[in-house]
Structure formats: structure tokens, C-alpha cells
Structure 1
Amino acid sequence: MMRINKFLARSGVASRRQAELLVEQGRVKLNGQIIRELGVRVDETKDIVELDGKQVSPAMGAIYLMLNKPPGYLVSSKDPHHDNLVTALLGEYRGKVFPVGRLDYETAGLLLFTNDGELAFRLSHPRFGVKKTYEVVLAGNIGKNELAELDKGIILDDGPTAPTYSVLVSTSKTTSVVRITLHEGRKRQVRRMFEKIGFPVIHLKRIEFGGLKLNNLKEGKFIKLTPSDIMKLRKQVGLA
């Protein structure tokens, strides 16, 4: 027996946090009855669970993918208002996996997909402090003092940021390139941090997540993670 949100996560339809929302929205049925209580338990050997009218099967084989997301794609499985959904880039895996966290519409770079709900939940949860590194092209010439200010933490509308680590990569007459590593994952956080200190973001790309790097993966393409990649992620969040 297991809680309904854990069953949904293990079945690969959503992360554990997303599964809780599905239950609260009344989209899940257990043996023909809509449920809204997160404490409901499922016996996967005999109970029938449905999501939006379709039966959910017990956990299938685990899938772990890394995509180099192009800008101009929405990180969502379904959205009637957008044609460019990032899941369209996943080929045969479309509909079988969900994203680990988010990248906003104009942000490019490393995005993980899996049907392993527990791992996805932990990688996305701020309690585990998984590192994410971004390469940022800024308007203007940023200096060491401004980067030091960022690294100590600044105040945004939703509260103070945790310390970061940033490196000035290069500058030109009108732009700067910075690499910044952080442990948080608030909405549009990197963009808001630089805008707060007067340097609008021209281009933003995530180049590393949890120690995994894009390397030479082409934009719009994906690869399967290796067993060592998967183990590296699991160790960081206490699953190995």
C-alpha cells in the first residue's frame, strides 16, 4: 500500500508535487470514485487508478533524458495556447516522461526529463540544494563589485536570495558574459537578480545541473543518461 501521490509519481505521470495538485483538482479516480484526499492509499495489485479518465499503470521501466532546450519552447506537456511545447522534441518519449523543474520560454539549455517521480521531486526541492549553472549574456559591462554583491545575496520581491558563485567570462563594448551557480530555483530568478542590479539579460542558458553538463549536445537534441549519470544525481539527493 502507498499514498496516491507516490503511486502517481512512481507510475511516471507526474512528479510527487504535481501529483498532489492533480488529486486536489479532482482529476484522479480510485476504483471509479473521484478522490481529493492526499492521504488515500492505493494497493497497486488490485486497485484501479485513473487520471483524466485514463487508467494509470503501475511503474514502468525508469527513463532518464537530458535535453538541450532551444529558446522559444514552453516547458509543459499540454497548453492549448502554445504550439511550441518542449515535449515535441522528445520523439518516442513524448508523453512518457515529465520535466525536472522548469526553464522559462526564452531560456535555453540543460533540462532533464524522467518518469522517476521521487528523483524528480528531490532534484527540484530547494531542501536538497542541487547546483545549477547558467551562462548569461548581459547588456552592459558588469564588474567584480556587482558580482560580489550578487554572490552575497540580494533582496528580490519574493525575499532574499541565497549566496551564489559567479565568474566574469568576458566583456565587450556593450555586453558581458557571466557564469553563475546557484542552489535555488525560483521563477525567472537569474533574470530578476541581474535586472535588480541594473544589467538586463540578453541571453540565458543553463549549462550544468547537478554536476551533469551539456558538453557537445546540440540544441534541440536529447540523450539518455548513463548509469553513472543517474547514480550521480541519486547520491546528491539521498537515494543512493
Structure 2
Amino acid sequence: MRIDKFLVQAQVATRSQAHKLIKQKQVVVNDQVVKAFKQQIDENNDVIQVAGKVIHYQKYYYYLLNKPQGVITATKDAQHRTVVDLLAKDDYRADIVPVGRLDKDTTGLLLLTNDGQLNHNLMSPANHVAKEYEAVVAGPVDQTTSAQFAQGLVLRDGLQTQPAHLTIIQADPKQQASLVRVVIKEGKYHQVKRMFAATGGRVVELKRVRLGSLQLDETALPQGQYRALTPAELAQLKQNN
């Protein structure tokens, strides 16, 4: 990799700033001052310093976010706070994007990364990656509803869903409200909400608790907080996709 490209990817400087740093002899590779913008380096093994500080190379970043309500799944928005805005300054990169989307009022597990291939693999309908949600639903939810989910539903606009697994965790007949878990393997727009609407229910609260092999632990990761994936989590996520 060219040294100026490395400095840009490492977010040390813009291309023009990188050239200026090199001209000022502030960039050192393996204890040798860099003299040319086009100098090739081994980003994985060479020791690169800028103004005496060692710069570590990392190509891809993976963050597990517990998305709160009121934050939109986007990278930029003129009116609302986005999931990328929740990243600390040192963790922010312009190429980091959310994997899939959660509605503004939906909470829970959201993966942020600049690994485009993994993003594609997780979201491709052909890969059938499981997405698990916990929901509070107003209206009737019973074993008939579970059977309808298991067969696949025709939504109100005529679209057909794939079979989904519905588990009733707790039902309150007096308040006509139920706590349920739903596992789907596709990602139609507002799909979980639309599936319940097709059966006469209404989703009051919705939280994603799993994406593929990734599980959300709200005790360790409160809403609005995020952390880097562990090597084991990343390896399992890639192995399953």
C-alpha cells in the first residue's frame, strides 16, 4: 500500500495533509524517514510513525450497538440523531455504516461496520440469516397466530412472507397484550409490525435481540452504548455466513 493512502485510511490525515507531513519529514517507516508519497509499505508488518507516534493499521471495524429509541438508522440526517452519531470521536469513520436498519422507535441489536462483504452476506435474502425480535403486542396473539407465522403470511399489501417462528412468552388477556419473540429470515420493510397487523395485532414495543450468531446482552450493554465485536464473535459470524 502507498504510504499516503495508508495515512488516509488510518484517518491520520487527508491526502493533502499526508503529503505535507511527508514533506515535513514527519513520517517514518521502520526508522527510515519517508521521502516519497508513493513509497510502498507493508501495512501489516512495517512500523509506521507520524510525529513520533506509532500508527496501527486496522482495515475493518465492527461495533455492536444497543440502539435506543428516537435514533434513526442512517449515517447522516439533517433533523435527527443517527446511529453513527453515537460513536465516540476516536471510533468514528466515514465508511462505517449500519448493517440493515431498525425503525426509529425500534431498539436493540445493530451492527455497524465498514466491511462491505460481511454487510452484504448478512443482509442478502439468499443467506437466510436469522433476526430475532422481542415485541409487546396489543391485540390477539395465540397459538393460531403462531401457526399463521409458521406458514408464512400474506401482508395487507399482498406481499407474501417466508415462514417465521413465533413464541409467546407471556400473555395478559385482560389488557389484550402479549410479550412475544419472533424469528424471521428476511427483512421486508417494517416486516414484524406488518406481520402482526395482518393477524389483527399491533406492535407496541419492538426490540431486536439477535442477528445471526450475535446476541444482545442488555445487562452488559445498555441502550445507547456500543462495543467492538470480540474476535470469537466475528469469527463465528463470518463462519455462519
- Fold agreement, TM-score > 0.5: yes
Structure 1 residue 75, shift from structure 2 partner: 0.7
Alignment check: 8 A CA contact 1:107 1:205 kept:
yes
Counterpart in the other structure of 2:46 = none
2:88 to 86, 91, 105: 91
Flag the 1:138–1:64 CA change in 2: closer, same or farther, 3 A: same
With 180-189 and 209-218 compared, the bigger mean Cα shift is at 209-218
> Is 1:200 the counterpart of 2:199 in the alignment?
no
Counterparts of 1:112 and 1:203, CA distance in 2: 20
CA contact (8 A) 1:77 1:95 kept: no
Q: Does structure 2 retain, via aligned residues, the 8 Å contact 1:69–1:219?
A: yes
Question: Which residue in 1 is equivalent to 2:122?
Answer: 123
**Where in structure 2 are the equivalents of 1:65-104 lying within 5 Å?**
65-80=63-78, 82-92=79-89, 93-96=91-94, 97-104=96-103
Whichever of the two has the greater Rg, that structure is: 2
Change (3 A) 1:76 1:158: farther
User: Are 2:167 and 1:167 aligned?
Assistant: yes
- Confirm or deny: 8 A CA contact 1:191 1:200 kept in the other structure: yes
8 Å CA contact 2:74–2:82 kept in 1: the answer is yes
Residue 49 of structure 2 is matched in structure 1 by none
Aligned residue for 1:18?
Answer: none
> Quick one: distance in 1 between partners of 2:229 and 2:77?
27
Q: Which residue of 2 aligns with 1:155?
A: 154
Query: By how many angstroms is 1:151 displaced?
Result: 1.6
From the superposition, tell whether residues 161 and 117 of structure 1 become closer, same or farther in structure 2 (CA, over 3 Å): same
What CA distance in whole angstroms lies between the structure 2 residues aligned with 1:144 and 1:137? 16
Let me know the Cα RMSD of the aligned residues.
Answer: 2.0
Structure 1: which 5+ residue stretches go unaligned? 1-10, 12-44, 47-58
Query: Residue 222 of structure 2 aligns with which residue?
Result: 218
Shift of 1:165: 0.9
Structure-2 change in CA distance of 1:126 and 1:142 (3 Å)? same
Give the residue type in structure 1 aligned to 2:102: L
With the length of structure 2 as denominator, give the TM-score of the two structures.
Answer: 0.71
2-structure distance, mates of 1:66, 1:221: 9
Q: Is this contact kept in 1: 2:132–2:181, CA < 8 A?
A: yes
Give deviations 1:53-74, integer Å, cap 9, x for gaps: xxxxxx9521111000011111
2:106 corresponds to which letter in structure 1?
T
**Equivalent residue of 1:150, what SS?**
helix
Q: Is the 8 A contact 1:119 1:234 kept in 2?
A: yes
2:236 corresponds to which letter in structure 1?
K
Matched residue, 1:177: 179
8 Å Cα contact 1:152-1:163 kept in structure 2: yes
Distance across 1 between alignment mates of 2:64 and 2:71: 15
Structure 2: gaps of 5 or more residues: 1-8, 10-37, 40-56
Local SS of the residue matching 1:202? strand
Partner SS, residue 182 of structure 2: strand
3-state DSSP of counterpart to 2:167 = strand
The alpha carbon displacement at 1:235 in A equals 1.1
**Matches of residues 39-54 of structure 1 in structure 2 within 5 Å?**
none
The residue aligned with 2:18 is none
